Chains A and B, each alone.
Chain A
Amino acid sequence: ILNVEQSPQSLHVQEGDSTNFTCSFPSSNFYALHWYRWETAKSPEALFVMTLNGDEKKKGRISATLNTKEGYSYLYIKGSQPEDSATYLCAFTIQGAQKLVFGQGTRLTINP
Protein backbone atom coordinates (compact mmCIF):
# COMPACT_ATOMS: atom_id res chain seq x y z
CA ILE A 1 0.00 0.00 0.00
CA LEU A 2 1.38 3.40 -1.00
CA ASN A 3 1.01 5.78 1.90
CA VAL A 4 2.15 9.35 2.47
CA GLU A 5 2.37 10.72 5.99
CA GLN A 6 2.58 14.40 6.76
CA SER A 7 3.34 15.89 10.15
CA PRO A 8 2.21 17.78 11.99
CA GLN A 9 -1.44 17.78 10.88
CA SER A 10 -1.78 21.39 11.96
CA LEU A 11 0.51 24.12 13.11
CA HIS A 12 0.13 27.64 14.51
CA VAL A 13 3.11 29.93 14.04
CA GLN A 14 3.68 33.53 15.04
CA GLU A 15 4.20 35.99 12.21
CA GLY A 16 7.90 36.41 11.54
CA ASP A 17 8.88 32.99 12.89
CA SER A 18 10.28 30.25 10.68
CA THR A 19 8.77 26.81 10.53
CA ASN A 20 9.08 23.46 8.82
CA PHE A 21 7.09 20.27 8.35
CA THR A 22 7.64 16.78 7.08
CA CYS A 23 6.43 14.45 4.39
CA SER A 24 7.26 10.72 4.59
CA PHE A 25 6.78 8.36 1.67
CA PRO A 26 7.83 4.84 0.59
CA SER A 27 11.37 4.99 -0.79
CA SER A 28 11.13 2.02 -3.16
CA ASN A 29 10.37 2.75 -6.85
CA PHE A 30 10.37 6.46 -6.10
CA TYR A 31 9.96 8.81 -9.07
CA ALA A 32 8.89 12.30 -7.98
CA LEU A 33 7.80 14.26 -4.92
CA HIS A 34 5.40 17.19 -5.24
CA TRP A 35 4.53 19.97 -2.79
CA TYR A 36 1.32 21.97 -3.22
CA ARG A 37 -0.12 24.91 -1.30
CA TRP A 38 -3.90 25.02 -0.91
CA GLU A 39 -5.42 28.21 0.38
CA THR A 40 -9.02 28.21 1.56
CA ALA A 41 -11.53 28.72 -1.27
CA LYS A 42 -8.78 28.51 -3.88
CA SER A 43 -7.22 25.78 -6.04
CA PRO A 44 -4.17 23.78 -4.95
CA GLU A 45 -1.08 25.42 -6.42
CA ALA A 46 2.20 23.64 -7.18
CA LEU A 47 5.21 24.77 -5.18
CA PHE A 48 7.88 22.24 -6.10
CA VAL A 49 8.46 19.00 -7.95
CA MET A 50 11.62 17.14 -6.97
CA THR A 51 13.03 13.97 -8.39
CA LEU A 52 16.67 13.58 -7.30
CA ASN A 53 17.99 12.52 -3.92
CA GLY A 54 19.48 15.57 -2.23
CA ASP A 55 17.42 18.00 -4.33
CA GLU A 56 16.84 21.36 -2.71
CA LYS A 57 14.43 23.86 -4.24
CA LYS A 58 13.58 27.40 -3.23
CA LYS A 59 10.84 29.87 -4.09
CA GLY A 60 11.10 33.12 -2.19
CA ARG A 61 10.89 32.33 1.54
CA ILE A 62 9.84 28.73 0.96
CA SER A 63 12.28 25.89 0.34
CA ALA A 64 12.15 22.11 0.25
CA THR A 65 14.61 19.25 0.51
CA LEU A 66 14.36 15.64 -0.59
CA ASN A 67 15.85 12.40 0.74
CA THR A 68 14.75 9.53 -1.46
CA LYS A 69 16.86 6.90 0.28
CA GLU A 70 15.09 7.32 3.60
CA GLY A 71 11.80 8.53 2.12
CA TYR A 72 11.23 12.03 3.47
CA SER A 73 10.99 15.64 2.38
CA TYR A 74 11.00 18.80 4.46
CA LEU A 75 9.27 22.07 3.62
CA TYR A 76 10.69 25.19 5.25
CA ILE A 77 9.11 28.62 5.51
CA LYS A 78 11.33 31.49 6.63
CA GLY A 79 9.86 34.56 8.30
CA SER A 80 6.21 33.43 8.11
CA GLN A 81 3.65 35.92 6.87
CA PRO A 82 -0.14 35.80 7.23
CA GLU A 83 -0.45 35.00 3.50
CA ASP A 84 1.43 31.74 4.14
CA SER A 85 -1.63 30.43 5.97
CA ALA A 86 -2.77 27.43 3.92
CA THR A 87 -2.78 23.65 3.82
CA TYR A 88 0.47 22.26 2.44
CA LEU A 89 0.11 18.97 0.59
CA CYS A 90 2.79 16.59 -0.49
CA ALA A 91 2.33 13.82 -3.01
CA PHE A 92 4.59 11.28 -4.65
CA THR A 93 4.66 9.10 -7.72
CA ILE A 94 6.40 5.82 -8.39
CA GLN A 95 8.32 4.75 -11.47
CA GLY A 96 6.13 4.25 -14.52
CA ALA A 97 3.02 5.77 -12.97
CA GLN A 98 1.31 9.09 -13.34
CA LYS A 99 -0.78 8.66 -10.21
CA LEU A 100 -0.09 11.17 -7.46
CA VAL A 101 -0.58 9.77 -3.96
CA PHE A 102 -1.33 12.61 -1.57
CA GLY A 103 -0.78 13.00 2.13
CA GLN A 104 -3.44 14.47 4.35
CA GLY A 105 -1.69 17.83 4.47
CA THR A 106 -0.33 20.16 7.12
CA ARG A 107 -2.65 23.05 7.94
CA LEU A 108 -0.56 26.10 8.73
CA THR A 109 -2.00 29.17 10.45
CA ILE A 110 0.12 32.28 10.87
CA ASN A 111 -0.90 34.42 13.82
CA PRO A 112 -0.34 38.17 13.31
Chain B
Amino acid sequence: ETGVTQTPRHLVMGMTNKKSLKCEQHLGHNAMYWYKQSAKKPLELMFVYNFKEQTENNSVPSRFSPECPNSSHLFLHLHTLQPEDSALYLCASSRWSSGGADEQFFGPGTRLTVL
Protein backbone atom coordinates (compact mmCIF):
# COMPACT_ATOMS: atom_id res chain seq x y z
CA GLU B 1 0.00 0.00 0.00
CA THR B 2 1.06 3.54 -0.59
CA GLY B 3 0.19 6.81 1.11
CA VAL B 4 -1.09 6.59 4.66
CA THR B 5 -2.23 3.26 6.09
CA GLN B 6 -4.04 2.54 9.32
CA THR B 7 -4.65 -0.68 11.21
CA PRO B 8 -6.96 -2.06 12.30
CA ARG B 9 -9.79 -0.67 10.19
CA HIS B 10 -12.38 -1.72 12.75
CA LEU B 11 -11.98 -2.28 16.49
CA VAL B 12 -14.44 -3.25 19.19
CA MET B 13 -13.18 -3.07 22.74
CA GLY B 14 -14.48 -3.17 26.27
CA MET B 15 -13.95 -0.34 28.71
CA THR B 16 -11.25 -2.26 30.59
CA ASN B 17 -9.29 -3.31 27.49
CA LYS B 18 -6.00 -1.88 26.28
CA LYS B 19 -5.54 -1.60 22.54
CA SER B 20 -3.43 0.36 20.07
CA LEU B 21 -4.12 1.98 16.73
CA LYS B 22 -1.31 2.10 14.21
CA CYS B 23 -0.61 4.55 11.41
CA GLU B 24 2.16 4.39 8.84
CA GLN B 25 2.98 6.87 6.11
CA HIS B 26 5.04 6.07 3.02
CA LEU B 27 5.32 9.67 1.78
CA GLY B 28 8.52 10.85 3.45
CA HIS B 29 6.59 13.39 5.54
CA ASN B 30 7.79 14.81 8.83
CA ALA B 31 4.49 15.73 10.46
CA MET B 32 1.81 13.30 11.63
CA TYR B 33 -1.61 13.88 13.16
CA TRP B 34 -4.40 12.07 14.98
CA TYR B 35 -7.98 13.22 14.40
CA LYS B 36 -11.26 12.06 15.86
CA GLN B 37 -14.63 12.21 14.17
CA SER B 38 -17.62 11.54 16.39
CA ALA B 39 -21.10 11.22 14.97
CA LYS B 40 -22.47 14.53 13.68
CA LYS B 41 -19.39 16.49 14.76
CA PRO B 42 -16.56 18.02 12.70
CA LEU B 43 -13.20 16.34 12.41
CA GLU B 44 -11.31 17.29 15.55
CA LEU B 45 -7.55 17.40 15.92
CA MET B 46 -6.16 15.36 18.82
CA PHE B 47 -2.36 15.39 18.49
CA VAL B 48 0.37 16.73 16.20
CA TYR B 49 3.90 15.36 15.90
CA ASN B 50 6.70 17.12 14.02
CA PHE B 51 9.96 15.24 13.52
CA LYS B 52 8.82 12.72 16.20
CA GLU B 53 8.15 15.43 18.80
CA GLN B 54 4.65 16.17 20.04
CA THR B 55 3.81 19.79 19.30
CA GLU B 56 0.05 19.86 19.89
CA ASN B 57 -2.20 18.13 22.39
CA ASN B 58 -5.72 19.40 21.94
CA SER B 59 -6.76 18.82 25.55
CA VAL B 60 -7.11 15.10 24.96
CA PRO B 61 -7.87 12.90 28.01
CA SER B 62 -4.93 10.82 29.24
CA ARG B 63 -6.73 7.56 28.39
CA PHE B 64 -5.47 8.34 24.87
CA SER B 65 -1.70 8.06 24.72
CA PRO B 66 0.11 8.78 21.44
CA GLU B 67 3.53 7.50 20.48
CA CYS B 68 5.70 8.48 17.51
CA PRO B 69 8.85 6.32 17.36
CA ASN B 70 9.92 7.76 14.00
CA SER B 71 8.59 10.09 11.32
CA SER B 72 6.84 7.24 9.48
CA HIS B 73 4.92 5.64 12.34
CA LEU B 74 2.34 6.91 14.76
CA PHE B 75 0.44 4.97 17.40
CA LEU B 76 -2.52 5.76 19.58
CA HIS B 77 -2.62 3.65 22.73
CA LEU B 78 -6.06 3.28 24.26
CA HIS B 79 -6.93 2.25 27.80
CA THR B 80 -10.02 2.43 30.00
CA LEU B 81 -12.02 4.14 27.28
CA GLN B 82 -15.64 5.21 27.62
CA PRO B 83 -18.52 4.44 25.26
CA GLU B 84 -18.52 8.11 24.19
CA ASP B 85 -15.02 7.56 22.78
CA SER B 86 -16.57 5.47 20.02
CA ALA B 87 -15.70 7.30 16.81
CA LEU B 88 -13.71 7.22 13.61
CA TYR B 89 -10.01 7.89 14.29
CA LEU B 90 -8.08 9.27 11.36
CA CYS B 91 -4.35 9.61 10.95
CA ALA B 92 -2.79 12.15 8.59
CA SER B 93 0.67 13.28 7.54
CA SER B 94 2.16 16.33 5.86
CA ARG B 95 5.54 17.61 4.74
CA TRP B 96 5.94 20.28 7.41
CA SER B 97 7.47 22.87 5.14
CA SER B 98 4.91 25.64 5.52
CA GLY B 99 3.19 24.54 8.69
CA GLY B 100 -0.53 25.15 8.52
CA ALA B 101 -0.48 25.60 4.72
CA ASP B 102 0.74 22.06 4.01
CA GLU B 103 -1.93 19.82 2.60
CA GLN B 104 -2.56 16.79 4.76
CA PHE B 105 -2.79 13.23 3.50
CA PHE B 106 -5.25 11.09 5.39
CA GLY B 107 -5.45 7.39 6.11
CA PRO B 108 -8.71 5.43 5.82
CA GLY B 109 -9.38 5.57 9.55
CA THR B 110 -10.12 3.11 12.32
CA ARG B 111 -13.77 2.75 13.32
CA LEU B 112 -13.67 2.24 17.10
CA THR B 113 -16.58 0.96 19.15
CA VAL B 114 -16.29 0.94 22.94
CA LEU B 115 -18.75 -1.32 24.70
Binding site for B on A (CB under 8 A): 4, 31-32, 34, 36, 42-46, 49, 51, 89, 91, 93-94, 96-105
Contacts and interface: CB of A to CB of B under 8 A. Distances in A.
Contacts of A98: 31, 48, 50, 55-56, 96, 99-100
Interface in B38-58: 40-45, 48, 50, 55-56, 58
Given A42-B108, A43-B109, A31 B42 contact: no
Nearest to A33: B101
Interface residues of B, number: 27
Contacts of A94: 100
Given A99-B48, A102-B43, A31 B104 contact: no
Contacts of A103: 42
A34 B92 CA distance: 14
Nearest to A89: B43
30 contacts: A4-B42, A31-B100, A32-B100, A32-B101, A34-B104, A36-B106, A42-B108, A43-B4, A43-B106, A46-B103, A46-B104, A49-B101, A49-B102, A51-B101, A91-B43, A93-B101, A96-B99, A97-B99, A98-B31, A98-B50, A98-B96, A99-B48, A99-B56, A99-B58, A100-B43, A100-B45, A100-B100, A100-B104, A102-B42, A103-B42
